Amino acid sequence: MQHGRTLIAALLAGTVAAGPLWAQATHPETGETLAEDQTFVYRALDESPSIDPQKVEDVDGSKIVRNLFEGLLNTDAEGEVVPGVATEWEASDDRKTWTFTLREDAAWSNGEPVTAEDFVYAWQRAADPATASEYAWYIQLMKIVNAAEIIAGEMEPTELGVRAVDDRTLEVSLTEGVPYFDQMVTHATTFPAPRAVIEEHGDEWTRPGNMVSNGAYVLTEYVPGERLEMEKNPEYWDAENVIIERVVRLVINDENQALTRWMADEVDWTLIPAGQFPRLKEEHPDAATSVPELCSYYYWINLSESGPEALKDARVRKALSLALDRNVIVENIMAGGQPPAYTFTPEATAGYSPPEVEAETMTQAERDEMAKQLMQEAGYGPDNPPPPFELIYNTSEAHQKIAIAASQMWKQKLGVETTLANQEWTTYLTARGNQEFDLARAAWCGDYNEASTFVELLTTPSEYNDGKYSNPEIDALFEEAATSDDPEQQYQEMERLAAEDTALIPIYWYTNAFMLDPAIKGWPYENVSQDWYAKDLYRVAQ
């Protein structure tokens, strides 16, 4: 029954072809015949904590918000910024002042025009302590004037460095030049909010019937934990070019269950469980896809005072990193086309290519040889191993398999013992954040498509540096990069130093492996953030 799906598709195609021809619309640009039912159904792992643009905090929630609302700018199929509500934007020479010109026909779903004031309100709302948004930090990250003070409660939200010059002009003042500020306003936190509606309904403004939005879709049904439905917004400025009429999000917690329902044609898009990509690619070559993702999988090494002495020796760290056969992990465990990583920042990051490091050019046999030698130099050998290291990871089959593989490799090649500690998510985060580990599984995904979001973790002051690695040379390079015209050089140098010193153990760069119904076209395969807009998709008749 592997081909059951194709069979059903063929039958359906037969019925359609036999039907009256007048019902068939075609795509205005490509001329492809469009399916009659323009519905797109996708799967989410869990219910999202919020679908309020200023409070949304997860990837799945952002997908919903991106379709219900429209920010100043959008990203296209390649991930480049394109006009959204703003048609033009420019930065001052020092990149500290950004001015956006809003389109005249942008409207809320209740017919009211979208004005610069709606953005000012939204951004103030995100920073306002009364909103208590977890993403208040994003406004701070954007370096908007007074953001930090407002979050700290020292200033009124109205003092935020953003103002409506007139209905169509938004001006933003930053504390320092941010060259990639245009990328940052494609993020959900910066989307406009309808003040009158929020003031009328309070927290319940996000319910269907209450919610007013300015995106290509409006919320029509929301049963948390089960389904969410959006329908085309007739008030959207570009509504005539929106082909998908209905977008449905289903919550399916179990990955395999989601895959079965994809096979049964109940879902158009779902992620592929770890290890199953090769099989699915063979069975469904036109549906199974793997694209690079802006995330890095690695092990933190505890270099703080609570960390083991042995790991403070860079030779031991390097030996552990070298002895880890990444090819076994990406090919036999993950099997989703993930590239093995020898440096931290993913190669798919825009404007960045990883520096070539020694380990990458060697064969695994050479790496193992070097690892053994380094251990010997550090005074350890098979008869004299360092005390066992504790490796913590959060509960997940894939993390467990990788941890087992790593501990086996270290044991066989270096005689190093590792105790594996599987912890429930919040417990694990707490342990990691408090340096209660020797080695810890970790992953980092870029907040925006630029290398600084990754390399910052290697710096001493970073709050996310859970390994407490510290290297003044790297810190200096990071500061230098902030004002550089071509920061790639500094980023590469930081990575090279970090690899030399084994600040952490990079393992692989993520890919996004998913099943997409071949009838759905317009998917942004080249967009590394995989930010899709249902308004750009369409379903062809089959």
Partner 1 sequence: MTSYIIRRLLVAIPTLILLVVICYLLMFSAPGGPFTSERPLPPQVMANIEAQYGLDQPMWKQIWDYLVGIVTRFDFGPSFAYRDRDVNDIIQQGFPVTLTYGSIAFVLATVVGVALGVMAAIRHNTVLDYIAVGATFSAQALPNFVMAPILVIVFTWQLGWLPGGGWAGGQWQYVILPVVALATSYMASIARIARSSMLETLNANFIRTARAKGLPERTVIWRHAMKPAMMPVVSYLGPTFVAMITGSVVIDLYFSTGGIGQLYVLSALNRDYSVMLGITILYGALTILFNLVADVLYAWLDPKIRY
Tell me the residue type at 338: Q
Q: In angstroms, give the least distance from the CB of 239 to partner 1.
A: 27
Does residue 142 interact with partner 1 by CB under 8 A?
no
Provide the 3-class DSSP secondary structure of residue 109. Answer: coil
Pattern of binders to partner 1 over 444-463, x per CB under 8 A? Answer: -------------------x
Structure tokens at 74: 């959008």
Pattern of binders to partner 1 over 51-80, x per CB under 8 A? Answer: xx--x-x-----------------------
Q: Which of 430, 479, 483, 526 binds partner 1 (CB under 8 A)?
A: 430
Pattern of binders to partner 1 over 460-479, x per CB under 8 A? Answer: ---xx---------------
Task: Count each helix (H run) and each strand (E run) in the chain, helices first.
Answer: 18, 18
CA torsion sign for 180, 186, 189, 192 is positive
Does residue 134 interact with partner 1 by CB under 8 A?
yes
Gyration radius of the chain over CA positions: 25
Does residue 37 interact with partner 1 by CB under 8 A?
no
Q: Which residue number, 46 or 356, has a Cβ lying nearer to partner 1?
A: 46
Does residue 224 interact with partner 1 by CB under 8 A?
yes
Cβ–Cβ < 8 Å for 89, 190: no
Does residue 429 interact with partner 1 by CB under 8 A?
yes
- 184-213 binders of partner 1 (CB under 8 A): 203-204, 206
CA dihedral of residues 535, 536, 541, 542 (deg, nearest 10): -130
Cβ–Cβ < 8 Å for 335, 280: no
Does residue 384 interact with partner 1 by CB under 8 A?
no
Q: In angstroms, give the least distance from the CB of 36 to partner 1.
A: 20
Provide the 3-class DSSP secondary structure of residue 362. Answer: coil
Does residue 136 interact with partner 1 by CB under 8 A?
yes
Nearest to 191 by CA among 135, 151, 239, 230: 135
Q: In angstroms, give the least distance from the CB of 267 to partner 1.
A: 9
Start-to-end Cα distance in the chain: 20
Does residue 49 interact with partner 1 by CB under 8 A?
yes
- Measured CA to CA, the distance from residue 324 to residue 358 in angstroms comes to 15
Pattern of binders to partner 1 over 236-275, x per CB under 8 A? Answer: --------------xxxxx-xx--xx-xx-x---------
Number of residues that bind partner 1 (CB under 8 A): 54
- 508-527 binders of partner 1 (CB under 8 A): none
Q: Please state whether beta strands 389-394 and 217-223 pair in parallel, antiparallel, or not at all (unpaired).
A: unpaired
- Measured CA to CA, the distance from residue 371 to residue 251 in angstroms comes to 46
- Measured CA to CA, the distance from residue 505 to residue 135 in angstroms comes to 29
Q: Which residue number, 36 or 207, has a Cβ lying nearer to partner 1?
A: 207
Q: Which of 38, 50, 418, 512 binds partner 1 (CB under 8 A)?
A: 50
- Measured CA to CA, the distance from residue 523 to residue 531 in angstroms comes to 10
Q: Pick the piece of the chain touching partner 1 (CB under 8 A) from 98-106, 131-139, 344-352, 492-500.
A: 131-139
Does residue 223 interact with partner 1 by CB under 8 A?
yes
In Å, how far are 53, 134, 146, 262, 501 from 213, measured between CA atoms?
10, 21, 28, 30, 50
Q: In angstroms, give the least distance from the CB of 227 to partner 1.
A: 6
- Measured CA to CA, the distance from residue 509 to residue 397 in angstroms comes to 18
Q: Where does this chain bind partner 1 (CB under 8 A)? A: 1, 4, 8, 46-47, 49-52, 55, 57, 129-130, 132-134, 136-137, 140, 148, 151-153, 203-204, 206, 223-227, 250-254, 256-257, 260-261, 263-264, 266, 424-427, 429-431, 433, 443, 463-464
